[in-house]
Structure 1
Amino acid sequence: MLIAVVFGITSCTKDLDVKPIDPDDVTAEVVYSKPEGYSQGLAKIYGLFSLTGDGIKGDISGDEGFSGFLRVYWNIQELTSDNAKCAWGDAGIDQLNFGQLSPENQFVYYMYYRVMLSATFMNEYLRQTTEDKVKGRGLGNIWPDVQKYRAEVRFLRAYIYWVGLDLFGNIPVVTEADQIGAGLPIQKTQKEVFDFVEKELLEVQNELAAPNSNAYGRVDKAAAWTLLAKLYLNAETYIKEKHYTDAYTYAKKVITESSYKLQNNYAYNFLADNDVNKSEIIWPIASDGTRTQSFANLTFIMNSSTNGGDAAWKSAIGLQGGWNGNRGTAKLAELFGITDKASLESCPDKRAMFRMLDDIKMNDWKTFVQGVGIMKFKNITSTGAVGSDPTGTFPDTDFPMLRLADVYLMYAEAAVRGGGDVDATVPFVNDIRKRAFGDENHNVAKADLTLDFILAERGRELYYEATRRTDLVRFGKFTSADYLWPWKGGAKDGKATDVKYNLLPLPYQEVGSNPNMKQNPGY
């Protein structure tokens, strides 16, 4: 597992050359004076996606786990969609469930500032690791390694700004070239953010490690190609430009120029030893039940989706939390043809890792036992062993941020949208379906590859993996009346919502304190 080693970063002062009086304070000058400081700094950057604070106080919120990247991003992607709803009464949960977030919503605040804070750490790493600085510290012998680290950090920064583009649209883009304290950030247009992310990815793809050759948990060329495919596939949504040929091209590169392969068993992608059964996972957020304990990663996703009063359920998951929060909707179950216990038990699609609750219909979103239980992620290995944390709180399971099956489906979608040869993509869609059903009886033909089919197949393959809101927006279904699900728009059976919700609002704190920022339309 990749273990994040957290080191301190100096606070802003008028004289940035001032050294701390306290010898226990750690500055960049100290950290980067030794070779190991560069790999430790890199681990800190990767850790931004699952860890917060230093174990005493959070970096954005006093509640460390509540504001972590994966937890907030997952909530925004999943709870606003047809996939899941949360029964909790925390402030802002209702708006998540309804897909109608306001500028005052705490999840809007956490997500926006998580993007910006992460970029700040990444920029500082890039400032401290230039060739001149590394060699000036007498560490020229490690420069080749540091070059690779820098490429990874630039990828991660491109990813975090892509998240900002996808969710908020017009955001600032601050880089290592911007001086600290030089002024308030300037808002960029969606086109400017898109162009920055594209440029960074096109440049770093040549500097990253060859596909599947880097240490587990770290990104490679295939990660850059995958994110480029995502960027281009959504370009028409972001900037009203069609880049489907580019999306097709980069998805194809992942398929033909890397050694990533579909895992034979779908469930193995989501077990406690998915760092061993990793052939399909292009980039994970790594977890370790004893060494990277966080309430912001899969600890949250798994415990919040488990019934604390059901010992058998907790045992099957391999965790003992049971927070009675998140569960799937009847609309998600419907994608698998599931409407009741009998149809669940007879469902031939092995991806339907559900548990029937008291009522599949969610008449009250605040009642956890309404809907369908989700048992996709487990803290149990492929051999049946329980994860390493003796308390049964923190999992060893890694979260797949980028996965090959997603690439297969992007490849097909880009082709169907006019970007490439649809015939060439059919075998890859069928590879996914053969794994799901265990035979070829459910294979599809070219004529079956419609956009409606692809959206449904993405729902079946990728539910609970923090992609659904983006998908629904791209397909024009997130706010429309022609695709409804429980509690969309605050109605039990769902209703259309204002198109403004295709973008999140900027947090009121940002708009109120920075005159350079203009609120998104409609808010």
Structure 2
Amino acid sequence: MKKYSIYPFVLLLLSAVGCSKLKETPYSSIYTDNFYKTASDAEAALVSAYSPLADLGSGPALTLCGDFSADQVYPRPVVGRNTLTLFNYDPNYTTQKSYSRLFESPQQIWISCYSGIENANWVILKVPSTTMDAGRKGQILAEAYFLRAFYHWFLTKNFNQVVVKTAPSTDLSVAFVGKSPAADVYKQVYSDLDKAIAGLPDYSTTIVKGRPSKQVAQALYAKAALYNGDWATALAMAQAVLGSGKYSLMANVLDVYDVSKKDAARAENMWAFESDRTTPGRSGQIMGLYGPKNSDGPAYGKQTFGSIFAYPGFFASFGATDKRRQLLDTQYVNNSGQVVIQKNITPITPNGVLVKKYMDPNSIGGASACNIPILRLADVYLIAAEAEARQNGATATAYGYINTVRARAGLAVLTAGLGKDAFVDSVLQERSWELFGEGDRWYDLTRTNTYMQVIPAAVNDVYPARAPAAKHRYFPIPQDEINANPKLTQNDGWQ
């Protein structure tokens, strides 16, 4: 599996050295010397920095690595898909090395993020000398800084101490780098986001879909700071987003996931993996995984497999008036117009609850237009609520933030009088209800170090026992990468 190495360019460089008598030009020289001459070169290079995000979303490791590990949804118990849920994976990711399972594994996160970082680094190095419009040049660089920040943050929340790469690997002397402490990773994320914020435009409907605005960079800053325990920064950045007035919650939470309204939903769904049914866009597997088996529910999509369901206990946790409960269901209407009770499809997965966040009745086979949210305005409200409470206690301001989200969901306001810890617990619960199925919950449990208390209770008749250990707080670095990089060391507990 060396072809998936973090440093594929090393093999190219070694090949060039081995064939030096033939006077071949190394690939890296072709790439850097004969490219980045024109504006179109710069735009193409930026697209290459976004491309690994599409690999994460189409798999979709973007959400499933976290979601399969957490307490909201679970996979159909097939080999390679249940290892995260049962916590029986290893640094080789042995059962996930088939093509299809790799795209759902932490190994794919490592591969995609470092590919994105490498491509962003080339943009940051070379675009400044490209002949093109100065304004657009500045925005391209800002997008590259944003992407490099996102990829580093996504890596550290999955693997903790990771390699910080801020320059392209032009030769072997800079190819191999050791891990940095998480504090240094966040320092780099902050630095890159400062540059991104300075160069990105405010949100408007004219921004190309899938591209970040200034407020998206601030939202990522707020979330990264929350994960870093930097409450003041998290609060300040969240307030900058909310105070800008550029984004707003949709009146009906169900509309956020209505594929026919996804253009309007960008007012709340600030940044997402943008999925398209037809080429040249990219589509993902997520609709097919969440829909009923054998494409039997036409509302879900034309090609679905019944591969992911919600735990009954999670479904039961919603209040009766919570509109978000309508994004889960225990039955569906099949292709013959009959109501099918989900529990009757045993023995595939007894008592499964269907998730309705990713539905596209007009899909083209398995290709859907279902976007996968990465940063939503509702998330920013809850970041602000948590950061305010952790810094200043359960203030009226903190209640205002959480109650904005609760009111939209159809819930009564959270009554004042909670202590700081109880209020934070309420925010974390609200995050679970609001953001389920979006790859968020596992990281809330790991950043608060509560996963070993919460996960053992998240069981059902498919997975009657789940026992995470301390080492599972972070995924092991793929062994292939350890083997390829002599300066890279394995995470604690996985040696």
Offset at residue 111 of structure 1 (A): 2.0
Q: Distance in 2 between matches of 1:493 and 1:308?
A: 25
Q: Which amino acid aligns with 1:166?
A: K
Q: Which amino acid aligns with 2:216?
A: A
Offset at residue 519 of structure 1 (A): 1.3
Q: Distance in 1 between matches of 2:304 and 2:367?
A: 12
Offset at residue 368 of structure 1 (A): 3.1
Q: Distance in 1 between matches of 2:47 and 2:322?
A: 41
Find the counterpart in structure 1 of residue 121 from structure 2: 123
Q: Distance in 2 between matches of 1:401 and 1:41?
A: 23
CA RMSD in angstroms, aligned pairs only: 3.2
State the Cα deviation string for residues 354-392 of structure 1 (Å, max 9, x = none). 221699899x9x833432111112225xxxxx35xxx33
Q: 2:306 aligns with which of 324, 338, 351?
A: 324
State the Cα deviation string for residues 385-425 of structure 1 (Å, max 9, x = none). x35xxx33211222221100000011111122125773113
Find the counterpart in structure 2 of residue 62 from structure 1: none
Contact in 1 for aligned 2:225/2:233 (Cα 8 Å): yes
Offset at residue 80 of structure 1 (A): 0.3
Q: Distance in 2 between matches of 1:487 and 1:121?
A: 43
State the Cα deviation string for residues 246-292 of structure 1 (Å, max 9, x = none). 21111111100241000112122223241233211211221211124
Residue correspondence of structure 1 range 364-443 to structure 2 within 5 A: 367-379=348-360, 386=362, 391-419=364-392, 422-437=395-410, 442-443=412-413
Q: Do residues 227 (structure 1) and 220 (structure 2) align?
A: yes
Find the counterpart in structure 2 of residue 254 from structure 1: 241
Residues 73/123 of structure 1: CA separation in 2 closer, same or farther (3 Å cut): same
Contact in 2 for aligned 1:45/1:153 (Cα 8 Å): yes
Q: Which amino acid aligns with 1:204?
A: A
Q: Which amino acid aligns with 1:492?
A: P
Find the counterpart in structure 2 of residue 63 from structure 1: none
Residues 487/190 of structure 1: CA separation in 2 closer, same or farther (3 Å cut): farther
SS of equivalent residue, structure 2 residue 49? helix
Contact in 2 for aligned 1:49/1:285 (Cα 8 Å): yes
State the Cα deviation string for residues 490-517 of structure 1 (Å, max 9, x = none). 961544x311111111111222332212
Q: Do residues 290 (structure 1) and 275 (structure 2) align?
A: no
Residues 374/81 of structure 1: CA separation in 2 closer, same or farther (3 Å cut): same
Q: Give aligned pairs, total.
A: 454
Q: Do residues 210 (structure 1) and 202 (structure 2) align?
A: yes
Find the counterpart in structure 2 of residue 352 from structure 1: 326
Q: Do residues 265 (structure 1) and 238 (structure 2) align?
A: no
Find the counterpart in structure 2 of residue 89 from structure 1: 78
Offset at residue 487 of structure 1 (A): 6.6
Find the counterpart in structure 2 of residue 158 from structure 1: 149
Contact in 1 for aligned 2:91/2:478 (Cα 8 Å): yes
Q: 1:462 aligns with which of 426, 435, 440?
A: 435
Contact in 1 for aligned 2:343/2:350 (Cα 8 Å): no
Q: 2:162 aligns with which of 171, 177, 189?
A: 171
More helix, by proportion:
2
Q: Which amino acid aligns with 1:279?
A: A
Gaps of 5+ in 1: 1-8, 52-66, 237-242, 338-345, 381-385
Residues 433/413 of structure 1: CA separation in 2 closer, same or farther (3 Å cut): same
Offset at residue 117 of structure 1 (A): 1.7
SS of equivalent residue, structure 2 residue 483? helix
Find the counterpart in structure 2 of residue 240 from structure 1: none
Q: Which amino acid aligns with 2:258?
A: L
Contact in 1 for aligned 2:83/2:89 (Cα 8 Å): yes
Q: Which amino acid aligns with 1:444?
A: L
Q: Distance in 2 between matches of 1:117 and 1:328?
A: 32
SS of equivalent residue, structure 1 residue 147? helix
Offset at residue 199 of structure 1 (A): 1.6
Q: Distance in 1 between matches of 2:254 and 2:57?
A: 26
Residues 220/77 of structure 1: CA separation in 2 closer, same or farther (3 Å cut): same
Contact in 2 for aligned 1:127/1:176 (Cα 8 Å): yes
State the Cα deviation string for residues 280-306 of structure 1 (Å, max 9, x = none). 121122121112454xx5x31110111
Residue correspondence of structure 1 range 481-500 to structure 2 within 5 A: 484-486=457-459, 492-495=464-467, 497-500=468-471
Find the counterpart in structure 2 of residue 104 from structure 1: 92
The normalised TM-score by structure 1 is 0.78
Q: Which amino acid aligns with 2:136?
A: D
Offset at residue 458 of structure 1 (A): 0.7
Q: Distance in 1 between matches of 2:425 and 2:342?
A: 24
The normalised TM-score by structure 2 is 0.83
Q: Do residues 194 (structure 1) and 186 (structure 2) align?
A: yes
Q: Distance in 1 between matches of 2:460 and 2:171?
A: 44
Q: Which amino acid aligns with 2:223?
A: K
Q: Distance in 1 between matches of 2:84 and 2:341?
A: 22
The percentage of aligned residue pairs carrying the same residue is 21
Residues 177/37 of structure 1: CA separation in 2 closer, same or farther (3 Å cut): closer
Q: Distance in 1 between matches of 2:86 and 2:341?
A: 20
Q: 2:48 aligns with which of 12, 35, 44?
A: 44
State the Cα deviation string for residues 322-346 of structure 1 (Å, max 9, x = none). 1221111123212215xxxxxxxx6
